[in-house]
Structure 1
Amino acid sequence: MILLQINQVARLFGAEVLFENMQLEIQSQSRIGLVGRNGAGKSTLLKIIAGIESPDKGTLTKTKNLSIGYLAQNSGLNSDTTVWNEMLDAFTAVRQMESRLRELETLISTQEIDSPEGQRVLKEYDQLQHTFVEQNGYSYENEIRSILHGFQFDATFYQQKVQDLSGGQRTRLALAKMLLQKPELLILDEPTNHLDIQTLAWLENYLQNYQGALLIVSHDRYFLDKVVTEIYEIARHKMMHYKGNYSRYLTLKEEQLALDWKAFEKQQGQINKLEDFVARNLARASTTKRAQSRRKQLEKMERMERPQGAEKSANILFKIDKPSGNVVLQLEDGEIGYDKHVLAKNITLDIRRKDAIALVGPNGIGKSTLLKSILKEIPLLKGTLHYGTNVSLGYYDQGQQKLQPQKTILKELWDEHPTTPEVEIRSVLGSFLFSGEDVEKTIGLLSGGEKARVALAKLAMNHENFLILDEPTNHLDIDSKEVLENALIDFEGTILFVSHDRYFINRIATKVIELSPEKSTLYLGDYDYYMEKKQEEAELLALLEQDQVKEKSVSAGKQSFQQTKEQQKIIRQLQRKIGQLEENLEQIEEEVSQLELQMTQPDNLNNHFALIELQTTIDEKTIQQETLYEEWEKASLELEQLDS
């Protein structure tokens, strides 16, 4: 079923065209990725589709009462209530139904069933009960817990005020609430911002099973490959449609360009022949009529436009003045953090020339802190750091804090390289798409993508042999990411980088280092290899736990053998308790499902006393479930503390 269509939509800014003749169709199960350069109008088009802005030309039609959820870039929740209450707000209608059902149950117990009022109450209860079951009324709290867990919010966050959380956390909460609301059309503008790799993987899986339609703008190519099944591209003010995920779109786009060139060249050949015939034969009496016929044919011909390839891209090149030695950097027994607050410890690095190492781990683990500790901007809490011979460091800061807001783009580079001729500075900036008067723009007025290109231009001018990059693809559109990737692949030096862009990691990384609170772990491959090894580790761990042969690490220190033995005993008791609680929770969940199924049976639907009895039993089971869940959380926390 078609949910929404836009036809010949245009957005104008005076005489300037942002886009025009936009055609887009959204079906009930569509999975659409909208791609294009920064500034092409993707976010503007989303706002038009969401009804926030109106088109200057064209029409938008949608089904009656279509529910649309729209999440803008970096739009976090602003609320003075708690996280839990804010999530409950997504189920206001369901909770109102729940309250009304309790009222009706009380009325049924006091009314004469055969009376007109009794029959009215029973009918209302019957209809409301059916709707309540359809809208997951018996399990919405479990659904909230599941979604919050997916976004890395555990029970300790539930009673925190939303306004006290960080901007990134509020952005994740806004997305969590929208998923709980389940609109028929979910419109997401850069939903992967502020998400670590683990959360990204969870979100991909969730969206793959989403019941409504999806329209997504994202620069995360790995995410697009996993989630979308069709691509709309905005380029040169126009829109093109491709079936398939992002990788398939790239293939189809290349194939279409080749076909367009073939058709164009064929038509040009026909035109040349016709024009040549007209030129040679128009003046001859014997062939004038045929020449005139050819000329009319030329006049009527609908001429194809010359196919246009890729739009102009940055031309990034990282050179080195002098190669480093084979050993670039070594760190032994590293410990990082702030004011004796340890973020991660037991960190080992052994970086060799031409390594390209991706540093991964959850948000807040200290990846950026480790980079700054390597740069000696933040002191190590512990450990020995050693640089190799002839190592020169280049650093890309994801926040571009080193850029001077009051300077022009030209001055930003020229002040650091005052002996370099202006023409050479302008040439470098031109390769990063800053030309003419663009170089006189003030840094503070630039977009995120423009600031990123300035920072990369500065990095390219320094010719260092060891690049340390903190989220280098943030703010870059897909084309710019691909250019950066190619430049780094061709780079003759060494790279250590932090990125949540898994597509980028796959193309660049020769090794992956995972950072955790307790240690660093090295994986000799790209992101896909790293994930395969993590899966193998998880399967092995599950097998060891199943066979009860998992070896517990014994902490070094002053613990006596008896203390360690007693701790092992407590751990085994907790493991058995957790296992039993999980079995009990599964059993109650199955019992509730069976009771809900019974409520839908014809015999019970017509027996309202039976429905009330079943509902009472479900309420009791739900209370038991919540109690068991609290016990499970407490036992799990105790076990985690003992294991650490």
Structure 2
Amino acid sequence: MIASLEQITKYYGAELILDHVSLKIEDQDRIGLIGVNGAGKSTLLNILSGDLEFESGERAITSGVRIGFLRQNSGLDRSSTILAEMRSVFAPLYEIERQMEAMRIRMRQFPDDHTLLEEYNRLHTEFEAGDGYLIDVKINTILNGMGFAGRDRETLISALSGGEKTRLALCKLLLEEPELLILDEPTNHLDFKTLIWLEDYLKGYKGALLIVSHDRYFLDSLVTSVCELDRTRLTRYPGNYTKFTQLREEAYARQLKLYERQQEEIARLQEYVDKNIVRATSAKSAKSKRKAIEHMELVEKPLPPQKRAHLSFSYDVEPVKEVLHVRDLALSVGEGSERRQLFKGLRLDVLRGEKIAIIGENGVGKSSLLKAIQGLFPIDEGKVDWGKNVYLSYYEQENTGLHDEKTALDELWDRYPRLYEVTVRTVLGNVLLTGEDVYKKVGSLSGGERAKLKFAIMMLRKSNMLILDEPTNHLDLDTKEALDKALGEFPGTILMVSHDRYLLSKVPTKIAEMTPAGMTIYQGGYAAYARGDRPILTPEQPEPEPIPAVPEKKSEASTTYYRGKKQRAEDAKRRKRLDTLEKEIAADEEEIQRLTEFMAGEEAASDYEKLTEAANRMEELQQGLTAKYEEWSELSE
């Protein structure tokens, strides 16, 4: 066992937050922690990390266990540089290296001092056990994987954005390798490439993981159990997130059935008691049954599932078959010398009933494309044709179309003034805006509440074409599930931009990957795209040299996805070099091991010249090994 919480109870003032919560974390555990906003997840994490007191219960951490906690507030030294902050993790090893260098100088001065040699060997063993020769390799591997490949390592942390600071804090934690790694929303601010790298890295992490995340795909990929905080209670379920959703429903149904059966039995016995307790002939039997009721171990009535949003999109007018036709579209942003082209030559056809998800690197112009095809953003060149009877609803991730000064009720009702108030309030209730919440000013609503209000507007609009820009941002897990279901059941056409891989696995019939050179279309959802299935070709489109699709998993030497002939040749060359490097690294490590054993033996202790030769050869090998590891790391990306 690494850590445990036993019967923890926590109040904030008079409000009960955690009620006799218990959690055990074993070595190699992969735990997902979920719950609605305000359920107490952060409170639980802070208690586990030792940063928060509690009213009753017991917190136990195994001696020597280090806990690493990624908070949204990074806690980095703002005056430090990227490289210095990463190297601070290895301060003890750098101190050993300094001592070794000083000792080498003294050994040259006093070649017959065996005490110096013994101390040097001890330090060298400790330095090597801590992978001291691979410090820079480790740092570069983590920084490159987490999206800092092109970033100057001497950049001050104070100059980084909030998202970059969070990513850098995670880099530092990964280098520290604590026995328990607690991650609070680690996927925020990560693009596909970085997210996939992090998933692969964490799958091989040696310690235990406790992850709070709204990224369902991330949880599915990593966790082996899910802990749900629900109304002050913690329940643990085996399996990943998808398994959890199934088990939670089954557990509720099973518990409710047991409770109802027992209540029926109690009612039957009580009825017998009431009828027979005063009768001389049956009083004894009635008393026996009354005792049976009194000694019965009562089944606890399960808490009903929390109310969830109900979303449903429909339309009245059927559009033509060819909904959208985009040809040779080019788009630029900025003014004057700052103006840059996002993409050119973009082609896209959308047919009635298709559900197309657009993906691509941050900054490639996905959101701008959605605006451009609606005439909300000027284009450089190209053509956009909409079919007849196409009626749009547009979900913009910033929700700028809302009026902050209006109430939620008026925001919806003013758009559909002919509806009765009860109808409008019913729709708001379907998205969990009820009671006094409907009188809140739109400007005071949370991000999730604003998103739900936007969905309520779209449900009443009854459009046959939905254009969605990151629709799952700000949503809790249950509302994401409701949106998945609603979009999957929607009979109309969808064009959306999303980084939510769980949504991308459930809804789209096609994946469209955007690059500065245009767009490549893949049949099917995210899984087919991640496998690298062959792109779709339109009659007007010559066979492209496709841009590689973002992979779902990395193999040992490379990521598998569709590549052109030239790229495949380069891959073969890279794999050959990787094989060569791996053999050379293995040979060098074997020679280093032999030299280490020699330097610790009696022969070296009595022959200073051989010892010096061995130390010089060791240093030469370590320098070469570091360079080879760096090249291997770059080729493996």
For the criterion TM > 0.5, the same-fold answer is: yes
For residues 356 and 44 of structure 1, the distance between their equivalents in structure 2, rounded to whole angstroms, comes to: 40
Q: Alignment partner of 2:147: what SS?
A: coil
For residues 512 and 629 of structure 2, the distance between their equivalents in structure 1, rounded to whole angstroms, comes to: 35
8 Å contact kept, 1:599–1:611: no
The 3 A distance-change label for structure 1 pair 59 and 584 is same
Structure 1 length as normaliser, TM-score?
0.85
Deviates more, 1:39-48 or 1:601-610: 601-610
The 3 A distance-change label for structure 1 pair 273 and 412 is same
1:210 aligns with 2:205: yes
Distance apart, 1:601 and its partner CA: 2.6
8 Å contact kept, 2:309–2:431: yes
Where does the alignment leave 5 or more consecutive residues of structure 2 unmatched?
536-545, 550-554, 558-562
Q: Alignment partner of 2:378: what SS?
A: coil
1:193 aligns with 2:188: yes
Where does the alignment leave 5 or more consecutive residues of structure 1 unmatched?
544-548, 554-571, 637-644
CA shift digits 1:130-170 (9 cap, x unpaired): 22222211112111221122223224443433333333333
1:589 is matched with which residue? 585
8 Å contact kept, 1:467–1:496: yes
2:53 is matched with which residue? 54
Distance apart, 1:216 and its partner CA: 0.3
1:145 aligns with 2:144: no
For residues 485 and 576 of structure 2, the distance between their equivalents in structure 1, rounded to whole angstroms, comes to: 53
For residues 179 and 632 of structure 2, the distance between their equivalents in structure 1, rounded to whole angstroms, comes to: 35
CA shift digits 1:572-612 (9 cap, x unpaired): 9x999989976775565345422432254366466466676
1:393-472 alignment runs, 5 A limit: 393-472=392-471
Distance apart, 1:621 and its partner CA: 4.3
For residues 89 and 171 of structure 2, the distance between their equivalents in structure 1, rounded to whole angstroms, comes to: 10
Q: Alignment partner of 1:601: what SS?
A: helix
For residues 79 and 605 of structure 1, the distance between their equivalents in structure 2, rounded to whole angstroms, comes to: 47
Structure 2 length as normaliser, TM-score?
0.86
The 3 A distance-change label for structure 1 pair 66 and 551 is closer
The 3 A distance-change label for structure 1 pair 576 and 251 is closer
Deviates more, 1:151-160 or 1:492-501: 151-160
Q: Could you tell me the percent identity over the aligned residues?
A: 40
Q: Alignment partner of 1:70: what SS?
A: strand
Q: Alignment partner of 1:138: what SS?
A: helix
For residues 107 and 42 of structure 1, the distance between their equivalents in structure 2, rounded to whole angstroms, comes to: 55
Distance apart, 1:296 and its partner CA: 1.9
2:178 is matched with which residue? 183
1:247 is matched with which residue? 242
The 3 A distance-change label for structure 1 pair 75 and 483 is farther
For residues 396 and 73 of structure 2, the distance between their equivalents in structure 1, rounded to whole angstroms, comes to: 19
Distance apart, 1:227 and its partner CA: 0.7
Deviates more, 1:95-104 or 1:164-173: 164-173
Q: Alignment partner of 2:432: what SS?
A: coil
Counterpart residue identity of residue 251, structure 1: Q
Distance apart, 1:400 and its partner CA: 2.8
Deviates more, 1:253-262 or 1:574-583: 574-583
1:281 is matched with which residue? 276
The 3 A distance-change label for structure 1 pair 575 and 393 is closer
1:219 aligns with 2:214: yes
For residues 612 and 383 of structure 1, the distance between their equivalents in structure 2, rounded to whole angstroms, comes to: 71
For residues 624 and 602 of structure 1, the distance between their equivalents in structure 2, rounded to whole angstroms, comes to: 20
8 Å contact kept, 2:522–2:533: no
Q: Alignment partner of 2:2: what SS?
A: strand
1:228 aligns with 2:223: yes
For residues 153 and 497 of structure 2, the distance between their equivalents in structure 1, rounded to whole angstroms, comes to: 30
2:560 is matched with which residue? none
For residues 573 and 49 of structure 2, the distance between their equivalents in structure 1, rounded to whole angstroms, comes to: 49
Distance apart, 1:174 and its partner CA: 1.9
The 3 A distance-change label for structure 1 pair 629 and 508 is same
1:529 aligns with 2:528: yes
Distance apart, 1:353 and its partner CA: 1.4
For residues 343 and 12 of structure 2, the distance between their equivalents in structure 1, rounded to whole angstroms, comes to: 51
8 Å contact kept, 2:179–2:208: yes
Distance apart, 1:190 and its partner CA: 1.1
For residues 262 and 629 of structure 1, the distance between their equivalents in structure 2, rounded to whole angstroms, comes to: 60
2:597 is matched with which residue? 601
For residues 76 and 386 of structure 1, the distance between their equivalents in structure 2, rounded to whole angstroms, comes to: 51
8 Å contact kept, 2:77–2:85: no
For residues 415 and 290 of structure 1, the distance between their equivalents in structure 2, rounded to whole angstroms, comes to: 68
1:39 is matched with which residue? 38
1:345 is matched with which residue? 344
Counterpart residue identity of residue 601, structure 1: E
The 3 A distance-change label for structure 1 pair 550 and 321 is closer
Q: Alignment partner of 1:222: what SS?
A: helix
2:331 is matched with which residue? 336
8 Å contact kept, 1:585–1:625: no
Counterpart residue identity of residue 110, structure 2: Q
Distance apart, 1:265 and its partner CA: 3.1
Counterpart residue identity of residue 163, structure 2: G
Deviates more, 1:366-375 or 1:582-591: 582-591
CA shift digits 1:511-541 (9 cap, x unpaired): 11111222311111011111122599979xx
Q: Alignment partner of 1:98: what SS?
A: helix
For residues 470 and 40 of structure 1, the distance between their equivalents in structure 2, rounded to whole angstroms, comes to: 28
1:616 aligns with 2:616: yes
The 3 A distance-change label for structure 1 pair 225 and 381 is same
For residues 423 and 469 of structure 1, the distance between their equivalents in structure 2, rounded to whole angstroms, comes to: 28
1:232-381 alignment runs, 5 A limit: 232-339=227-334, 340-381=339-380
Distance apart, 1:108 and its partner CA: 2.3
8 Å contact kept, 1:592–1:618: no
For residues 243 and 579 of structure 1, the distance between their equivalents in structure 2, rounded to whole angstroms, comes to: 39
8 Å contact kept, 2:355–2:509: yes
1:384 aligns with 2:380: no
For residues 470 and 600 of structure 1, the distance between their equivalents in structure 2, rounded to whole angstroms, comes to: 59
The 3 A distance-change label for structure 1 pair 160 and 213 is same
